């Protein structure tokens, strides 16, 4: 997000006791014309039911974001001071992350007015545009501003990126660092994260990391979510030789971008001094098709071992870069068919909503045991997807 | 898992509007004429609100506000959307905020208030009322009420993608313009407004503050009210709206985000990806109707293009667009336009025409849950078959039916049914087709030991001579502006220029010109010691493969098949396709090859080729 010059103008609108709604201060001046303001003023100086609400109005090629405030007090001419500090943007600007800033500024203005009569005192008229200019410059250049208004009041405003729901981390997911470990370590992490970071090797899954680092499982998950938020991590499925992967059409990226090729070769090589040939790596990727397990590929004549390629890293790189995706196996019991007693205990997992990884994790069965049970029963079909 | 599906559900219904509102302003002020849907709570909601606003004793002592009060007030602010219905807005408030000053009429209207967004299209009817006002003054009816402006507004959730919002804005505009037109033609709005106002007045006369019953009456009594309700309902249900406002003006709208995500709930589809998908239509593709022919024809408006009807009637999943163009006697560009139109509206999907050599695999987004609606629908269509059995058949890439299936089901009826199953699964986006793509790379450095000593020596010699020939010829060819004969990819990506025969002829002509030119260059070549026919072969090799990197060229020439001029010719012709972006079927179509011939050729050069199979971006909307 680049805050550069996103805010075009900030203006203070008030309900004047004689003139009605007016723009009392504006920086830069004359950005919003009187005609424009008159057309939209009922969204800026609103009726009581819309006060304290964040209102975004789009018209005249501009977006106006404001929060109308009313302070009731007998000292005002109409027993209330109604005002709104409005930010103006271009029409196509995404203003989602400016909303909280506008609301916070409205709160500050309310506080300043109640404590210092910042808005209503006549001698403050020259101070307000200075203040608005400072806010505008600060937010446009740094994305934040800290303005000292009074002995005990400093206006702190900062643009925050919108926060998404944290990605759920499963017990069987494998975290893998996307940046070198020393770069990650350079940041000042909390002690738990530091302790845990040593065990993230791109091979061990979350549960194992928790056990090895001697950290509670949910703490590990929370830490991983934090690292995921900063994009230091990616989650990949656990590596097993029974896994099936298939290439996606992103595989063409590997053919086209030479820097990705170099990165790939360095990553998948068994030893750094003896890099594999790109042709071989690409050919290995193309061998991942539906129905081919990693084991199948490793037992072929031109297997990764012969080609100086580490198959774990090959898979890791492919999944991380989206060159291929894991195919999951979903066992389903056909309705109306008798099932053997062997699968009775796991029957509730066999409705097509759970894949092998999930069932194994929940029941504690190994992949092999589960496979055997399901193969033995003719009433169960498996769908790979 | 549960949470995931839950969030998917909320995502899916997020595309639906929260409400539809009709407001007018007239000589008697702003009025909300209609809102839908309404909830039972609205009867009670305005009462406490009034109490806080005006129920206070005006003579009561006012305690000075302090910051805590403001904070308390702020925390009491609640969401405007409750259970998917717009609440906390009284009709008067809505009327006041949705009627705009005349400067803003005839422009798009968009206001966000906290968590709801109002998009509409206000239209001024002032010129109409002035006209009728003149007539009115003649008939001296001073009590005449004029509607000065009207606004049709959709209430949306604030977190909606921008492209969906603009779609709704478009629909609001269509509706507002249609209403204004009908008002001008036959005073439709005036007539309907009277019915609506009457319903509200009756309710207020009866005394109780009932907000729901007048709205319910309006739906029954007023045609416009019913029409707006049906717009909302069909948006929520299918994302498509097609009707005639006042049985006169056609309203025609679809929300592609919703239509294309029908079978994969929770997926948010961007408009851009739909457009990208539409731009990859090629003449070898076919179309598959997502509904029966009759349903599609019934949905078409009365004035639909006869070409479209002809196309729908003639289309089958085994014909490609070129064939359809010939059969419907339309140009291929016209076919493209019709097909893109149908895909955008969700009536058709792009497929590669069905044939036995196609390989299908279960789509990653297919719903495998055992007791889904999908499996019920499937067993209705195909009694005796289980959806999951069919799905597991396509766990691994498989053709429409295996050879052993034919043995197992000797009767042609059953085979036919299997094909129908595939069509049904394609229609419900359960299957993706896998295509084979070809990449050209260098051969392995270590030569396979199976090569004979003779070919080894010849590779070496040709290898060294290639270097020599290159130096002499490349300099000449570099100056030749037609050297880039094989670069046909650019023309192919262009959707409009698909006339393959033409471009084929063009490139063939260039080959000929190059071949005819080469003897003159031969004199300049300094390898005159080599036999005449080997020289000729080098010439061919060099001119054909001059585009490629030297090491790849050398690798190709090392393949035994490169010594057969016919094979090498064909291979060189196909080289531009070997970049992982063109599947075998595309090569077959554009180069007019048969599958066996192509497969044989690729097999001969398999040393330098890597095959890779994944789905065609054009036929799988991701």
Q: What is the DSSP string of B332-351?
A: HHHHHHHHHHHHHTTSEEEE
β-bridge mates for residue B122, sequence order: B151
Q: What is the pLDDT of residue B399?
A: 87
How close A196 comes to chain B (CA, Å)? 27
How close A116 comes to chain B (CA, Å)? 13
Q: What is the pLDDT of residue B240?
A: 87
Residue B414's pLDDT band (cuts 50, 70, 90): confident
How close B132 comes to chain A (CA, Å)? 27
- The total number of structural domains in chain B stands at 4
State how far the alpha carbon of B486 is from the alpha carbons of A119, B428, B466, in Å.
73, 40, 20
Are B148 and B85 in a shared domain?
A: yes
Q: For residue A163, tell me if it sits in a domain.
A: no
Is A385 close to B395, i.e. CB distance below 8 A?
yes
Is B114 close to A54, i.e. CB distance below 8 A?
yes
Are A77 and A209 in a shared domain?
A: no
Is A55 close to B93, i.e. CB distance below 8 A?
no
Are A152 and A178 in a shared domain?
A: no
Cβ A11 vs Cβ A82: under 8 Å: no
In tens, the pLDDT along B60-116 reads 554 444 444 444 444 445 677 776 777 777 888 888 888 888 888 888 899 998 888
Are B114 and B179 in a shared domain?
A: yes
In tens, the pLDDT along B548-583 reads 777 888 888 888 888 888 888 888 888 888 888 899
Q: For residue A3, tell me if it sits in a domain.
A: no
CA distance B566 to B231: 63
Q: For residue A168, tell me if it sits in a domain.
A: no
Instruction: Flag whether pLDDT at B132 surpasses 80.
Output: no
Instruction: Flag whether pLDDT at B524 surpasses 80.
Output: no
For B369, the closest chain A residue by CA position comes to: A352
Are A257 and A206 in a shared domain?
A: no
Cβ A181 vs Cβ A237: under 8 Å: no
Residue A238's pLDDT band (cuts 50, 70, 90): confident
- Identify the domain containing residue B285 by its residue range: 271-351
Which range is least confidently modeled, A333-337, B95-99, B321-325, B382-386?
Answer: A333-337
* Of A185 and B7, more confident: A185
Are B290 and B374 in a shared domain?
A: no
Does the N-terminal peptide bond of residue B304 adopt cis geometry, omega within 30 degrees of 0? Answer: no
Residue B590's pLDDT band (cuts 50, 70, 90): very high
Cβ B434 vs Cβ B397: under 8 Å: yes
Q: What is the pLDDT of residue A3?
A: 56
Are A179 and A272 in a shared domain?
A: no
Residues of A in contact with B3 (CB under 8 A): 168
Angular region, A117: left φ>0, alpha ψ -120 to 50, beta rest: left
Are A296 and A352 in a shared domain?
A: no
Q: For residue A320, tell me if it sits in a domain.
A: yes
Are B176 and B229 in a shared domain?
A: yes
Q: For residue A79, tell me if it sits in a domain.
A: yes
Are B90 and B195 in a shared domain?
A: yes
Are B420 and B546 in a shared domain?
A: no
Residues of A in contact with B113 (CB under 8 A): 50, 53-56
Closest by Cβ to A385, choosing from B7, B97, B366: B366
B446 touches chain A (CB under 8 A): no
Out of B319, B351, B383, pick the residue that ends a domain.
Answer: B351
Instruction: Flag whether pLDDT at A371 surpasses 50.
Output: yes
Q: For residue B57, tell me if it sits in a domain.
A: no
Are B391 and B506 in a shared domain?
A: no
Instruction: Flag whether pLDDT at B336 surpasses 90.
Output: yes
- The total number of structural domains in chain A stands at 4
What's the sign of the alpha-carbon dihedral B331, B334, B338, B339?
positive
Q: What is the pLDDT of residue B271?
A: 79
Closest by Cβ to B66, choosing from A54, A114, A247: A114
B268 touches chain A (CB under 8 A): no
CA end-to-end span of chain A: 36
Out of A219, A237, A255, pick the residue that ends a domain.
Answer: A237
Is B97 close to A43, i.e. CB distance below 8 A?
yes
Out of A311, A327, A343, pick the residue that ends a domain.
Answer: A327
- Identify the domain containing residue A376 by its residue range: 329-384
The two beta strands, A244-247 and B109-113, are unpaired
Is A332 close to B368, i.e. CB distance below 8 A?
yes
Q: Which residue in A54, A72, A49, A67 sits closest to B46, CA to CA?
A: A49
How close A342 comes to chain B (CA, Å)? 20
Residues of B in contact with A48 (CB under 8 A): 53
Q: For residue A365, tell me if it sits in a domain.
A: yes
Is A384 close to B103, i.e. CB distance below 8 A?
no
Instruction: Flag whether pLDDT at B274 surpasses 70.
Output: yes
Q: For residue A4, tell me if it sits in a domain.
A: no
In tens, the pLDDT along A68-79 reads 999 998 888 888
B92 touches chain A (CB under 8 A): no
Are B397 and B520 in a shared domain?
A: no
Average pLDDT value for residue range B536-544: 66
Interface pTM (ipTM) of the complex? 0.80
Task: Say how many CA atoms lie within 13 Å of B165 toward its Cβ.
Answer: 19
The two beta strands, B286-289 and B359-362, are unpaired
Residue B231's pLDDT band (cuts 50, 70, 90): very high
Is B396 close to A330, i.e. CB distance below 8 A?
no
Are B507 and B458 in a shared domain?
A: yes
Q: For residue B232, tell me if it sits in a domain.
A: yes
Is A383 close to B611, i.e. CB distance below 8 A?
no
Are A45 and A153 in a shared domain?
A: yes
Are B85 and B177 in a shared domain?
A: yes
Average pLDDT value for residue range B585-601: 92
* Of B63 and A86, more confident: A86
Q: For residue B12, tell me if it sits in a domain.
A: yes
Q: For residue B184, tell me if it sits in a domain.
A: yes
Task: Say how many CA atoms lie within 13 Å of A143 toward its Cβ.
Answer: 8
Cβ A229 vs Cβ A216: under 8 Å: no
The answer for B 594-613 residues in CB contact with A (under 8 A) is 610-613
Are A315 and A344 in a shared domain?
A: no
In tens, the pLDDT along A249-268 reads 889 888 888 899 999 998 88
Are B35 and B113 in a shared domain?
A: yes
Are A148 and A281 in a shared domain?
A: no
Closest by Cβ to B104, choosing from A59, A351, A358: A59
Is B368 close to A72, i.e. CB distance below 8 A?
no
Q: Which residue in B189, B214, B192 sits closest to B203, CA to CA?
A: B214
The answer for B 367-426 residues in CB contact with A (under 8 A) is 368-371, 386, 388-389, 391-392, 395-397
Q: For residue B60, tell me if it sits in a domain.
A: no
CATH of the domain at A207: 1.10.10
According to DSSP, residue B63 is labeled P
Closest by Cβ to B396, choosing from A52, A59, A291: A291
Are B308 and B391 in a shared domain?
A: no
Q: For residue B318, tell me if it sits in a domain.
A: yes
Are A47 and A96 in a shared domain?
A: yes
CATH of the domain at A14: 3.30.450
In tens, the pLDDT along B448-498 reads 443 333 333 333 334 433 443 333 333 333 333 443 333 333 333 343 333
Q: Which two tokens stand for residue B555?
A: 């690798």
Residues of A in contact with B388 (CB under 8 A): 332, 334, 352, 381, 383
For B359, the closest chain A residue by CA position comes to: A290
Q: Which residue in B566, B614, B219, B163 sits closest to B432, CA to CA?
A: B614
Q: What is the pLDDT of residue B535?
A: 66
For B583, the closest chain A residue by CA position comes to: A249
Q: For residue A165, tell me if it sits in a domain.
A: no
Out of B253, B286, B307, pick the residue that ends a domain.
Answer: B253
Is A385 close to B579, i.e. CB distance below 8 A?
no
Q: Which of B374, B614, B621 is the mutation pick for testing A, counting most A CBs within 10 A?
A: B614
Residues of B in contact with A52 (CB under 8 A): 73-74, 77
Instruction: Flag whether pLDDT at B372 surpasses 70.
Output: yes
Residues of A in contact with B366 (CB under 8 A): 383, 385
Closest by Cβ to A42, choosing from B7, B66, B97: B97
Is B441 close to A279, i.e. CB distance below 8 A?
yes
Q: For residue B511, tell me if it sits in a domain.
A: yes
Are A87 and A64 in a shared domain?
A: yes
Instruction: Flag whether pLDDT at B526 surpasses 60.
Output: no
Are A207 and A348 in a shared domain?
A: no
Are A94 and A216 in a shared domain?
A: no
Is B392 close to A332, i.e. CB distance below 8 A?
yes
Q: What is the pLDDT of residue B265?
A: 63
Average pLDDT value for residue range A310-323: 90
Out of B253, B280, B312, pick the residue that ends a domain.
Answer: B253
């Amino acid at each position: 997000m680049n805050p550069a010059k996103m805010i075009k103008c900030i203006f203070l609108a008030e309900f004047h006791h004689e003139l009605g709604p007016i723009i009392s201060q504006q920086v830069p001046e004359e950005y919003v014309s009187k005609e424009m303001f008159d057309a939209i003023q009922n969204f800026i100086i609103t009726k009581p039911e819309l006060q304290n609400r964040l209102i975004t109005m789009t018209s005249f090629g501009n977006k106006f974001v404001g929060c109308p405030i009313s302070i009731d007090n007998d000292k005002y001419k109409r027993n209330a001071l109604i005002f709104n500090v409005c930010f103006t943007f271009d029409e196509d600007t995404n203003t989602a992350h400016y909303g909280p800033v506008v609301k916070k500024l409205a709160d500050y203005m309310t506080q300043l007015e109640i404590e210092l009569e910042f808005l209503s005192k006549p001698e403050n008229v020259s101070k307000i545009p200075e203040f608005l200019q400072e806010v505008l410059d600060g937010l446009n250049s740094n994305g934040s501003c800290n303005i000292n208004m009074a002995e005990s009041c400093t206006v702190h405003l900062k643009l925050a990126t919108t926060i998404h729901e944290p990605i759920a981390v499963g017990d069987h997911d494998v975290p893998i660092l996307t940046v070198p470990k020393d770069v990650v370590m350079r940041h000042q992490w909390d002690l738990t994260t530091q302790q845990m970071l040593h065990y993230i090797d791109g091979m061990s899954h979350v549960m194992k990391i928790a056990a090895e680092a001697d950290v509670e499982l949910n703490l590990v998950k929370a830490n991983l979510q934090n690292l995921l938020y900063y994009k230091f991590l990616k989650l990949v499925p656990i590596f097993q030789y029974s896994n099936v992967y298939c290439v996606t059409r992103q595989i063409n990226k590997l053919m086209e971008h030479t820097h990705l090729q170099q990165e790939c070769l360095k990553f998948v090589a068994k030893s750094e001094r003896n890099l594999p040939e790109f042709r071989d790596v690409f050919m290995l990727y193309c061998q991942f098709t539906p129905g081919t397990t990693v084991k199948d590929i490793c037992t072929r004549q031109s297997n990764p071992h012969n080609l100086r390629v580490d198959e774990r890293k090959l898979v890791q790189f492919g999944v991380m870069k989206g060159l291929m995706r894991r195919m999951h196996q979903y066992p389903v019991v056909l309705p109306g068919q008798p099932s053997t007693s062997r699968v009775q205990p796991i029957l509730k997992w066999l409705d097509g909503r759970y894949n092998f990884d999930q069932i194994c994790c929940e029941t504690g069965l190994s992949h092999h045991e589960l496979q055997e049970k399901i193969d033995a029963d003719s009433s169960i079909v498996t769908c790979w997807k | 898992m549960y949470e995931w599906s839950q969030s998917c559900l909320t995502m899916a219904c997020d595309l639906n509007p929260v409400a539809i509102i009709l407001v007018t302003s007239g000589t008697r002020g702003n009025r909300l004429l209609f809102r839908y849907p309404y909830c039972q709570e609205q009867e009670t909601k305005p009462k406490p609100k009034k109490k806080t606003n005006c129920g206070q004793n005006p003579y009561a002592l006012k305690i000075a506000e302090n910051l805590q009060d403001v904070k308390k007030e702020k925390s009491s602010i609640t969401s405007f959307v409750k259970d998917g219905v717009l609440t906390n807005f009284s009709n008067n408030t809505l009327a006041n905020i949705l009627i705009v000053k005349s400067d803003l009429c005839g422009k798009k209207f968009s206001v966000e208030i906290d968590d709801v967004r109002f998009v509409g299209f206000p239209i001024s009817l002032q010129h109409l009322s002035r006209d009728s006002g003149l007539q009115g003054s003649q008939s001296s009816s001073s009590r005449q009420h004029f509607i000065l402006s009207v606004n049709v507004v959709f209430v949306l959730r604030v977190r909606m993608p921008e492209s969906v919002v603009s779609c709704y804005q478009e629909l609001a505009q269509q509706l507002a313009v249609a209403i204004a037109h009908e008002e001008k033609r036959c005073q439709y709005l005036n007539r309907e407004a009277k019915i609506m106002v009457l319903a509200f007045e009756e309710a207020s006369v009866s005394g109780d503050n009932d907000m729901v019953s007048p709205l319910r009456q309006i739906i029954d009594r007023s045609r416009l009210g019913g029409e707006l309700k049906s717009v909302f309902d069909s948006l929520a249900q299918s994302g498509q709206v097609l009707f005639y406002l006042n049985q006169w003006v056609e309203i025609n709208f679809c929300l592609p985000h919703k239509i294309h995500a029908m079978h994969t709930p929770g997926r948010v589809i961007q408009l851009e990806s739909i457009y990208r998908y539409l731009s990859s239509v090629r003449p070898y593709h076919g179309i598959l109707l997502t509904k029966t022919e009759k349903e599609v024809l019934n949905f078409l408006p009365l004035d639909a293009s006869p070409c479209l009807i002809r196309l729908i009637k003639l289309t089958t999943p085994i014909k490609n667009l070129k064939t359809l163009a010939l059969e419907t006697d339309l140009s291929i560009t016209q076919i493209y336009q019709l097909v893109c139109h149908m895909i955008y509206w969700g009536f058709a999907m792009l497929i590669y025409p069905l044939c036995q050599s196609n390989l299908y695999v279960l789509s990653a987004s297919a719903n495998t849950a055992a007791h889904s609606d999908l499996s019920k629908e499937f067993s209705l269509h195909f009694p005796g078959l289980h959806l999951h059995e069919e799905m597991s058949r396509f766990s691994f890439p498989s053709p429409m039916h295996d050879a052993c299936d034919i043995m197992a089901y000797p009767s042609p009826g059953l085979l036919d049914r299997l094909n129908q199953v595939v069509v049904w699964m394609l229609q419900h986006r359960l299957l993706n087709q896998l295509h084979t793509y070809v990449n050209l790379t260098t051969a392995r450095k270590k030569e396979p030991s199976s090569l004979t000593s003779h070919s080894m020596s010849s590779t070496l010699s040709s290898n060294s001579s290639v270097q020599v020939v290159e130096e002499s010829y490349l300099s000449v060819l570099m100056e030749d502006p037609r050297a880039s004969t094989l670069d046909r990819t650019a023309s192919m990506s262009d959707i409009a220029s698909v006339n393959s025969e033409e471009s084929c002829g063009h490139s063939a002509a260039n080959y000929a010109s190059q071949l005819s030119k080469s003897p003159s260059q031969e004199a300049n070549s300094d390898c005159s010691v080599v036999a005449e026919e080997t020289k000729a072969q080098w010439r061919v090799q060099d001119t054909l493969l001059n585009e490629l990197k030297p090491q790849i060229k050398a690798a190709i020439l090392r393949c035994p098949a490169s010594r057969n001029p016919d094979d090498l010719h064909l291979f060189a012709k196909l080289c531009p396709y070997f970049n992982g972006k063109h599947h075998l079927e595309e090569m077959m179509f554009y180069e007019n090859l048969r599958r066996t011939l192509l497969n044989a050729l690729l097999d001969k050069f398999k040393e330098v080729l890597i095959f890779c199979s994944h789905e065609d971006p054009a036929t799988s909307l991701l």
